[in-house]
Amino acid sequence: MGLLLITRFTLLEAIRRRLFLAVIILSILILTAFSILLSIVINTSQGSNDNGNDAQLQLLAGGIIITVLAIWMVYLLSSTLTIVFTANMISGEVEAGTFAIIVPKPLTRVEIVLGKWLGYALIVCIYTALMFLSFLVVIYRQTGYWPTEAPYALGMLELAMLALLGITTLGSSLVPTIVNGAIALMLFIGAPTASIVQFIVKFLNPTSLQTVQNISTVINLVIPTDALWHGTSFYLLPPAADFAMLGLSPQNFNTPFTSGQPVAPALLIWAALYCIALPALAVLRFQRRDL
Amino acid sequence: MAHKYKEPAIEVEGLRKVYHSLVAVDDVSFAMYRGEAFGFLGPNGAGKSTVVKILTGLVAPTKGTVRILGQPVSNLEMRRRIGYLPELPTFHRWLRAREFLAFHGRLYGMRGMVLEKRCHEVLALVGLTGRDNQKLGTFSKGMMQRIGLAQAILNRPDLVLLDELVSGLDPVGQRDMRDLLRQLKSEGMSIFLNSHQLADVEALCDRVAIINEGRILKVGAPQSLFDEAPVFEVRVNPVSKELLHRLGSVALAVRQDEDDPCLLYIEVQKDEQAADIAEVVHACGSRLYSLAPHHRSLEQLFLRTIDASRRAPVESTQS
């Protein structure tokens, strides 16, 4: 019961923050601007192409690329929201002294941490799902493209957000808010570096590719968000038959920012464990912390 | 000493807290009984707040045991029966007063009409009637203290722990809070008061503990903690040499007030010697205008105890 009270309180607190209102307004503005721009681009390109078949294929190809780019933007927006919203989850309350009258109440510290985690997880997941579906609907209306494996893509995206939330949850039980935010941001930005380096090395010096791949694997274990984004991008792509129609293959999407194959099951299991283990470690740390 | 309060509300035994290499609390033991008001005194940095934080479960002790209402600090059922107001409380500023109390009431397991009615009651008790919908962010420091006390007594606790309750209040607010604490005590609530306001502690508390440098120096009823002999304040006229000489023979010491020569401070071995003093005054032909025990304030006791502890290690006196 204490857990749900803290969850409810966290949701109420998040909604009352000006940050929440700013995020909602900006998200609507971004979505509106995207919708208008996409409409202009589609209308312009269709006007310049008289061949019906080519126009259809062009629209499909455009739809695929725009979908991946748009959802990549959702990934960045949701990740930023997760870090900014949750970096002070525990440390903020400790620094402000507001825990001093909550911790002595008849509820356990486990309930406090997990209640807050659950509240923020709901906010982040609902925001991510709404943005994901909104962008897909806009793209579908303009291009007619809807990824057949959208639910899997959303699942991957949500898992990435929960992994990031796990990092900020653990961090906020260990270090001050500003340090936690900085660490989470650096890890998040640093994670794709491995993919970029791996991509470059593949062309320049294939002999050291294995070493770089090993380093990438370690980075993906430390922070699996980038690997999960690559998994998301894979599920945003069309079935193989559509690729053939376009004269492409999924391998063409093996770039530093997208992936032509799904996430390895082992890494997926690791990411799921990661999302559970980090908040659990935060609970352990908070239980022993003097306030 | 036989206590009129038999059941302990707080039992602390061999408590020690070390932060890295700093010993904040060292071998602290005391008991507070149900129904009593207990003052916890000490200078800044004495370890008072650390003890209070250990009692409320905010800080874990390095060593020692604590039982609140007969239960360990971690016991959740026990926590339903205590209230706590920290020093300089910080609350969620975005909450309205009513929402704040409702949230804390729910944490205590209160619901529905019972909770709503109690919220109104406590707001009235702390003098915040009509402020239900005001955001805490707009509250003054004194109002924050009042709403803090409201949440501390929301659950009608058996024991309330108050850390520097009146520090943010104006004189009227201080008087209101003193009256409220007296009322709560008369209703049977046990009150643990950590305060620098020695006059408040003296007026309210049945017993006090004095702590310095992490160690308890004295525990007991304030008047029982004075080590020195009783002193009478005597106003006589005239004050002759013979009078002073004869008083000196029945008393331990006689001192004339520097500003008022007719006022004498006479230190005796026991209170019963008041009659001897009156007899000597009459025998010497002087008129006795007043004879009363000299009031020894808690402040004097506190300052002497702390000074003594700074000069030399003090044997702890417990009663």
ipTM value, please give it.
0.84
The string of pLDDT tens digits covering residues A220-250 is 899 999 999 999 999 998 887 677 777 777 7
Whether residues A106 and B107 touch (CB distance < 8 A) is answered with yes
Q: What is the pLDDT of residue A62?
A: 85
A11 has a pLDDT exceeding 90:
yes
A287 in reach of chain B (CB within 8 A): no
Q: Which residues on B lie below 8 Å from A5 (Cβ)?
A: 103, 106-107
* B59, B108, B151 ranked by CB distance to A290: nearest: B59
How far apart are alpha carbons B189 and B187 in whole angstroms? Answer: 6
Residue A104 corresponds to which amino acid?
P
Contact call for A107 and B76, based on CB within 8 A:
yes
**Joined tokens for residue A244:** 């053939």
Contact present, A76 and A30 (Cβ < 8 Å): no
Note whether B104 contacts A: Cβ–Cβ < 8 A: yes
Query: Which domains are delineated in chain B?
Result: 8-224 (3.40.50.300), 231-293 (3.30.70.980)
Strand order in the sheet with B22-33: B22-33, B8-19, B63-68, B71-72
Predicted local confidence at residue A50, as pLDDT: 64
Q: Do B57 and A104 touch (CB under 8 A)?
A: yes
Task: Confirm or reject contact between B309 and chain A (CB < 8 A).
Answer: no
Question: Measured between CB atoms, does A13 come within 8 Å of chain B?
Answer: yes
Among A5, A105, A288, the residue with its CB nearest the CB of B79 is A105
Structure tokens at A187: 């890890």
- Looking at mean pLDDT, say which of A59-68, A107-116, A232-241, A255-264 comes out highest: A107-116
* B80/chain A closest Cα distance in angstroms: 6
Q: B290 or A201: whose pLDDT is higher?
A: B290
Q: What is the Cα–Cα distance from B195 to B169, expressed in whole angstroms? A: 13
State whether residue A149 is helix, strand or coil. Answer: coil
Identify the pLDDT of residue B5: 57
Residues of B in contact with A102 (CB under 8 A): 107
The verdict on A266 touching B (C-beta cutoff 8 Å) is no
Tell me the nearest-neighbour CA distance from A106 into chain B, angstroms: 5
C-alpha B55 chain-centroid distance: 16
pTM for this entry: 0.84
From the list A9, A17, A96, the residue facing B90 with the nearest CB is: A96
**Separation of alpha carbons A169 and A180, rounded Å:** 9
The 3-state DSSP class for residue A77 equals helix
The most distant pair of C-alpha atoms in chain B lies apart, rounded to whole Å, by: 78
Strands B207-212 and B37-41: parallel
CB neighbours of residue A48 within 10 Å: 9
Per-residue pLDDT of chain B (319 residues; tens, 9 = 90+): 445 557 999 999 999 999 988 999 999 999 999 999 999 998 888 889 999 999 999 999 999 999 999 999 999 999 999 999 998 788 999 999 999 999 999 999 999 999 999 999 999 999 999 999 999 999 988 899 999 999 999 999 999 999 887 767 788 888 888 889 999 999 999 999 998 778 888 888 999 998 988 999 888 887 777 666 788 899 999 999 899 999 988 888 898 888 888 999 998 888 888 899 999 999 999 999 999 887 677 777 788 788 877 776 544 444 4
A204 interfaces chain B, CB cutoff of 8 Å: no
**Chain B contact set for A98 (CB, 8 A):** 90-92
Q: Is B98 on the interface with A (CB under 8 A)?
A: no
* Percent of the residues in chain A that have a pLDDT greater than 90, as a whole number: 66
Assigned token pair, A259: 């992936």
What's the token pair of residue B245? 């000489």
pLDDT digits (tens, 9 = 90+) for A38-94: 999 888 877 666 666 677 777 888 888 899 999 999 999 999 999 999 999 999 999
What residues of B are in contact with residue A291 (Cβ under 8 Å)? 53, 58-59
